[in-house]
Amino acid sequence: MGKIKCGLCSYGMSGRVFHGPLIDAHPKLELSAVLERNHDNAIKQYPGIKVYRALTDLLNDQDIELVVVNVPDHLHTSFSQAALEAGKHVVVEKPLTLSVADGQHLISLAERLKFGLFVFQNRRWDSDFLTIQKIIESGKLGRVVEYEAHFDRFRPDPPKNTWKEDEKLGPGLLFNLGAHLIDQALELFGWPEAVYADIRKIRKETRIIDYFNLSLYYSEHTAILKSSYLVKKEVAKYIIHGNKGSFIKSGSDPQEERLNQGWKADHPDIGLESPKDWGKIYTRNNSTQGEIIESVPGNYLKFYDDVYEEISGNAKVAVSAEEGLDVIKIIETAIESHRTHRKINTKK
């Protein structure tokens, strides 16, 4: 199978920083076209690509096999549906959709038309998440009893030039950064037994949800997921306690920052964390100083490796739309929990 030609539905931050560089660096993918309604920024970075001004023109391009739906969240359903109906495989930015009903509709459509539908949950390949995944699987912590994950920002003054701060277009932090934390928890522990959530607007000028504290309950442990736009100094990103010890880690995966600086997505060091960000494991034998654990290198290209493998029929390994739908189910349950002030039992 030759290279898969790809088209991007926009060239904002996600197209410029993530999808463009990742597709361009991938040996089995080709960035063929970009939808830019008013600018020509993509062609400056990737000379020779096609630039379209309308979605219909992009979808009518018969050379394109894979369309990346990297548009504002409220457009995910309509753009993904149009791409599937045009005979394209689809990668859609997280969240898959803004409702379970819309997600189920897209999944049914993709199954009926026999095209791939994948969700860009790139944070599965963050250096820090790969590291905690390895630590948990190694058994060094023993039986996990509490897992706490943070994904915070410091944005005390809501910017006025982004759809993410518009309550009519952007559904807020739970769908934004929350989708990453929920996906990671589901990847580690599977489906929870119950959900409880505290969801708020904590900035005076905000129009969107900008804080949440979400608990996923399992038979032997709890996964606590927190995010806020009013965290200036991060204490720890991951705190994991088990019956044999604890693992604590701060810092952030470097890939986004380096891609934004112009690093090539296949640079051998792009996913290497600084030693200052490596976590520590504390057990009975080293309860004071802790043991430094070298971080596993991050690798966002692995997402597109998996997409290629599944489209080419070699393996079913990509982040499926069903997994993306599970994230939306948890979000809807969290919203109901907050509304009713109670813990809600979950069913698949």
The superfamily CATH assigns to domain 4-120 is: NAD(P)-binding Rossmann-like Domain (3.40.50.720)
CATH class for domain 123-298+330-340? alpha beta
pLDDT at 170 (0 to 100): 66
pTM: 0.95
| Residue 124 to residue 306: CA distance in whole angstroms | 12
Flag whether pLDDT at 183 surpasses 80. Answer: yes
Condensed to tens digits (0 to 9), the pLDDT of residues 317-343 reads 999 999 999 999 999 999 999 999 999
Condensed to tens digits (0 to 9), the pLDDT of residues 289-315 reads 899 999 999 999 999 999 999 999 988
The domain locations on the chain are 4-120, 123-298+330-340
Q: What are the tokens at 116?
A: 């791939």
Condensed to tens digits (0 to 9), the pLDDT of residues 98-155 reads 999 999 999 999 999 999 999 999 999 999 999 999 999 999 999 999 999 999 989 8
The b-or-e profile of 262-271 (16+ CB within 10 A means b, else e) is ebebeeeebb
pLDDT at 169 (0 to 100): 67
Are 299 and 271 a contacting pair, CB within 8 Å? yes
Q: How confident is the model at residue 161 (pLDDT cuts 50, 70, 90)?
A: confident
Q: What is the mean pLDDT of residues 10-31?
A: 96
Flag whether pLDDT at 235 surpasses 90. Answer: no
